[in-house]
Amino acid sequence: MQITSPVESSQLNVVGEASVSWGKVRGIVLLSLTFLLSIASASVKVAEADSQRPNFIVILCDNLGYGDVGCFGSQAHRTPNIDQLAASGLKLTNFYSTSGVCTPARASLQTGRYPRRVGLHETDIDGAVLRPVSHNGLSSNEITIAEVLKQRGYATTLIGKWHLGDQPQFLPTRQGYDEYFGLPYSDDMVGDKRPGWPPLPLMEGEDVIEAPVDRNLLTKRYTERVIQFIETHQQQPFFVLLSHAMPGSTPQPFASEEFRGKSLNGAWGDSVEEIDWSTGQIVNKLEQLGIDDETLIVWTSDNGAPRFRTPAGSNAPFATWGYSATEGGQRVPCVVHWPTKVPAGSVSDVLCSMMDILPTCARLANTSLPSNHIIDGYDLSEVLLGRKNSSPYDAFYYYLRGDLQAVRGPQWKLQLTNGQLFDMRSDPLEQVDVSAEHPEIVAALQDFAARARDELGDGEQIGTGQGTAGYEASPLPRLLR
């Protein structure tokens, strides 16, 4: 720094010392300003991050088929609210459950992991799904979507069917959910079905509040609880998992009086149309509160519709049924709605699955995934927001209980049971085997299958990444006290 004023030589030392002192002061000031600016910048980033905490509502139907709603082709069911959700949002036409039955699929939704990695692909004594008074349940070592979101300040609730263990240590309240209201397992697991099973319990938290519950009122009561939770937590980010009991696992699903006998498809249609009403009530509440633009809704099903002799669900255009490792069993309808964010009227055939819900919500909430857990799902946020239209999956695996049945990439699917190869883009109904024309594709998918067997397991083969379910040595029935 130069001193431009003329000075006497006797003053040079004094002036020099002064210039040095001013230089130090200036440096300190600049450093302080830089520090304050960095703090301000960090504060802005934190504020931006906090503003990127949308509410999440996942609506999960039970055993509802691919062709059971209007926007996916149903002519039997009137579903104007779900159809409007799709018209103003995104339809995912290649969205998969990880299983054709309830428990494994729900384990994947909660954890973002394949059922074998969680140890709930099947369990001793129970079989394909957990039963009342089971020894087994979702391990406390697993990290659920609710636990991931709670670290970002989300209020969390599960309303409806759980089916991941009915013992206290397995219940939603021990797995990251602030509140729980619903059935601990399927609506068909009633007290007179098997010796030792209790009357079908409706639970609040960890207590049974009714038994047996009136199943005709479940959809209505669940909807009322969702609305109550939204109203209570509208000033903070929230996560709602509405896990409907319907259409459910009985040949004659249940519905309230307002909907019973009103559809063109018997009791199954009645229950579907009441679920549509429920969806409309929730969307209306979000709009009334002015938080619909801040709320991402995912509407889907846990697996395809099972085959019943009475009027039942539809997996059209697929000919196969629920409870199987097939397109009819595992490909499910999915609608994503987020006004101003998800492009209205969009349709994507990107290969994706319910395992993607956890990492996608984590990304949109600007929170981290568990570092000590392998997540099999992927962040789909760029797909949902219309910025990308390619699948993150190199391979997706179809398991029937613990047996690997098929492997699919974005375009090709290999049936491991008979070696048939199908082009799922041009032949989604799997009518033309093209394995002879594409031996290199067959070899590549077989390589992926070998990796799955090594890591996840297959049949009696234990995978290196296979997990174990939680276990209770002395389970007790959930009874009304």
Which of 362, 384, 406 is the last residue before a domain boundary? 384
Residues 6 or more apart whose CB falls under 8 angstroms from that of 60 comprise: 106, 109, 160, 241, 242, 243, 244, 300, 301, 302
pLDDT at 62: 98
331 shares a domain with 454: no
Cα(217)–Cα(221) distance, integer angstroms: 6
Query: Could you tell me the residue range of the domain that residue 421 belongs to?
Result: 396-470
Pick the catalytic residue from 61, 71, 77, 102.
102
Whether the predicted pLDDT of 392 surpasses 70: yes
- Tens digit of each residue's pLDDT (9 = 90 or more) over 186-202: 999 999 899 999 999 99
pLDDT (mean) for 308-315? 87
61 occurs within a structural domain: yes
Cα of 59 vs its chain's centroid, Å: 9
pLDDT (mean) for 108-134? 97
Q: Would you call 352 a catalytic residue per the annotation?
A: no
Whether the predicted pLDDT of 146 surpasses 70: yes
pLDDT at 308: 87
Whether the predicted pLDDT of 140 surpasses 60: yes
**3-class SS of residue 5:** coil
Which of 384, 412, 444 is the last residue before a domain boundary? 384
pLDDT (mean) for 87-96? 98
443 shares a domain with 300: no
152 shares a domain with 73: yes
Which of 356, 384, 412 is the last residue before a domain boundary? 384
Band the pLDDT of 51: cuts 50, 70, 90: low
Higher pLDDT, 370 or 60: 60
427 shares a domain with 297: no
- The CATH number of whichever domain residue 153 belongs to comes to 3.40.720.10
Percent of residues, the chain, with pLDDT higher than 70: 89
Residues 6 or more apart whose CB falls under 8 angstroms from that of 457 comprise: 116, 402, 463, 466
Pick the catalytic residue from 163, 233, 244, 337.
163
Whether the predicted pLDDT of 139 surpasses 70: yes
401 shares a domain with 377: no
Q: Would you call 102 a catalytic residue per the annotation?
A: yes
- The CATH number of whichever domain residue 420 belongs to comes to 3.30.1120
**3-class SS of residue 228:** helix
pLDDT (mean) for 377-394? 98
